[in-house]
Amino acid sequence: MTEFAELTGLIEDGPPNRYLWTDAFAVCNFLELYRQTGEEQFKHLALSLVDQVHTILGRHREDDSRTGWISGLDEKEGQKHPTRGGLRIGKELNERQPGDPFDEGLEWDRDGQYYHYLTKWMHALDCLSRATADSTCSRWAIELAKAAHSSFTYVPTFGGQKRMHWKMSIDLSRPLIASMGHHDPLDGYVTYQELQATAARNFEKQGQPNLDAEIADMAKICKGKSWATDDPLGIGGLLFDLCRVGQLIAGESSELTDLFQTLSDSSLQSLQVYSRNNSFELPAQYRLAFRELGLAIGLRGVEKLHVLFEKQLHLPKRENELHSQTADLMRYSPWSEAIETFWLEPRNRQVDSWTAHRHINMVMLATSLAPDGFLRVI
């Protein structure tokens, strides 16, 4: 993590290189290092990273004709509410302009806003608010949730249930990719529940906005959806959501037990399918570390839940059954160590598939090795 801080301009001179997904994991990693060592430098790095992300990704790009906060707020209000207009992804190229033809390959390198990146940043801010007992970060997370929800969700022109766009423009004024991400509604629902629980548990309710309307919206969008996937990063995301829901249940949110059952079933189905593709037998150049490490992190979450439920003997019978569900998933926990061991091998970090995504791979490997800062929500 120190090397990451140096390479991306967090603690060294030179232009900072901020990328929202990677930085969300990095904030949690620095908080975990602070928890384990007690060294203030790590808390300072987490706070500095948040400040950099808001100052850079909360504003328009340097190669854009627009300037200032992407929310449109003036300088003073923008600093008070840096997430109110969302946050840019941090891609190398500027966003596709209105009227430009869509190029699927090029779109991956273009800026804008991804909902699933925003939910990761909401989570990082929520982790920071709990680690520092600072309600400001909690408020920023909720303001980001409200901004993202109002822009990414929409009612189709032909009517019916609300849906979500996958990618929006930098200023959230127009969709860049209109289709809905497979797990975006689920990510939103679980993340909103997390933010709400933190705000209610740790901070004064007066002046703290709630997400009741957004949670109700997401519950409707999620209804009847299938979450199973054969993508390792997607499976890891499912397990991360399962881990958060399990912790919230242990924290007295028993209304989430049906969702836990659904996520457990979808995760088990996904792991069974993934176990048949033999991807762990491939050489490094044919594997994507950050996708596998997402799976490893999710499996660390299963281990965390398994231990938690063993201690929660006071839970009602129905909730106590969750322990047996995690036991089924624990059969796959050895994969975490296997993935970590493979990518800790120096020669496997010299191939193009590692170096092309070096920062995100570094940070997610660190998360898998010390996952509690990212996984803990209570």
Q: Which residue has the tokens 């999710």?
A: 298
Torsion 217-218-221-223 (CA) sign? negative
205 pLDDT above the threshold of 90 = no
Q: Rounded to an integer, what distance in angstroms lies between the CA atom of residue 98 and that of residue 275? A: 43
Which residue type occupies 258? Answer: D
Q: Residue 209: what pLDDT?
A: 75
296-353 pLDDT, tens digit each: 999 999 999 999 887 765 555 555 677 788 889 999 999 999 999 999 999 999 999 9
79-117 pLDDT, tens digit each: 999 999 999 999 999 999 999 999 999 999 999 999 999
Contact between 73 and 83 (Cβ < 8 Å): no
Q: Which domain holds residue 260?
A: 229-378
284 pLDDT above the threshold of 80 = yes
Provide the 8-state DSSP code for 178. -
Could you write out the DSSP letters of every residue in 63-124? Answer: TSS--SBTT---HHHHHHSTTTT------SBPPPPTTPPP-HHHHTTB-SEEHHHHHHHHHH
Which token pair is 48?
């500095």
* Sequence-separated (6 or more) residues with CB below 8 Å from residue 364: 25, 289, 290, 293, 294, 297
57-76 pLDDT, tens digit each: 999 999 999 999 999 999 99
Q: Residue 320: what pLDDT?
A: 61
4 pLDDT above the threshold of 80 = yes
25 pLDDT above the threshold of 80 = yes
Q: Rounded to an integer, what distance in angstroms lies between the CA atom of residue 8 and that of residue 350? A: 19
157-195 pLDDT, tens digit each: 888 899 999 999 999 999 999 999 999 999 999 999 999
Domain count for the chain, please give it: 1
Q: Name the percent of the chain lying above pLDDT 70.
A: 96
Q: Residue 13: what pLDDT?
A: 82
**Higher-scoring residue by pLDDT: 310, 256:** 256
Q: Name the percent of the chain lying above pLDDT 90.
A: 85
Phi-psi group of 112: left, alpha or beta (phi > 0 → left; psi -120 to 50 → alpha; rest → beta): left
210 pLDDT above the threshold of 70 = yes
Residue 190 lies in a domain: no
Residue 265 lies in a domain: yes
Residue 261 lies in a domain: yes
Which token pair is 180?
């809905």
Q: Which among 238, 232, 250 is positioned nearest to 189, based on CA atoms?
A: 238
Q: Residue 208: what pLDDT?
A: 66
Q: Residue 360: what pLDDT?
A: 98
Q: Give the chain's mean pLDDT.
A: 94
Q: Rounded to an integer, what distance in angstroms lies between the CA atom of residue 370 and that of residue 374? A: 9
Q: How confident is the model at residue 203 (pLDDT cuts 50, 70, 90)?
A: low
Residue 260 lies in a domain: yes
How many other C-beta atoms lie within 10 A of the C-beta of residue 104?
7
How many other C-beta atoms lie within 10 A of the C-beta of residue 90?
18
Q: Residue 38: what pLDDT?
A: 97
Residue 207 lies in a domain: no
Residue 212 lies in a domain: no
Residue 172 lies in a domain: no
47 pLDDT above the threshold of 80 = yes
Provide the 8-state DSSP code for 181. P
Cα dihedral 233/186/111/352 (nearest 10) = 0
Residue 363 lies in a domain: yes
Which token pair is 326?
């995690």
Picking from 9-23, 135-149, 312-326, 334-348, which range would have the lowest pLDDT averaged per residue? 312-326
β-strand pairing of 175-177 with 113-114:
unpaired
